[in-house]
Amino acid sequence: MSEEPARLPNPYRSAGVWMSIVIPLFMALNTWRSASDPSAFIAYFGLPDSADSDPAFVYVYASRALFLGLITAVLVWKRQFTALKYFAGVAIIMPLCDAFQVFQAEGFSAVVVRHLVVATYLAITAMLLHRWEARHG
């Protein structure tokens, strides 16, 4: 009598994996928004109108968002959940720095909170991926 091979767990039953799938979609949206209308994105990002005079940082943001979104998409596609867990955890630094930048520029407090919500989303994603990996890794 031969034993059946062990079935690999379905990662798409993990909320962390689904939350990871949202990240490249959000990054693609931000890439498009920032590259297509830098002035509107400056306001959305939470910086004062004076930043409108030189929107070069918006194009830097767009390239950063594109890069991060593509890396996340590749990690999800290749099912590299350990790397994805660490990537989400380390990525928390970006929205925290964004929140601080907006705060220092005396931007809207609601925008600061939005950046902090993004950091929290990444922390929860990393935690859920860690939990899934501990159970099935």
Instruction: Tell whether 39 is covered by a domain.
Output: yes
Residue 4 in any domain: the answer is no
Determine, yes or no, domain membership for 121.
Answer: yes
| CB neighbour list of residue 86: distance below 8 Å, 6 or more residues apart | 126
Residue 108 confidence (pLDDT): 80
**Mean pLDDT, contiguous 10-residue spans, the chain (137 residues):** 63 89 94 90 80 75 94 94 95 95 86 96 97 85
Spatial CA neighbour of 70 closest among 82, 87, 57, 46: 87
Instruction: Tell whether 101 is covered by a domain.
Output: yes
CA distance linking residue 58 with residue 137, whole number of Å? 39
Query: Residue 1 has what pLDDT?
Result: 55
For helices 109-136 and 15-36, angle between their N-to-C axes, nearest 10 degrees = 140
pLDDT number for residue 107 = 74
CA pair distance 84, 71, nearest whole angstrom: 9
**Domain region containing 37:** 15-136
The answer to whether position 125 is within a domain reads: yes
Whether 127 is covered by a domain: the verdict is yes
R_g over Cα of the chain: 18
The pLDDT, as a whole number, for residue 44 is 87
What pLDDT, on a 0 to 100 scale, did the predictor assign at position 48?
A: 74
Q: Is residue 115 part of a domain?
A: yes
| DSSP symbol at 46 | T
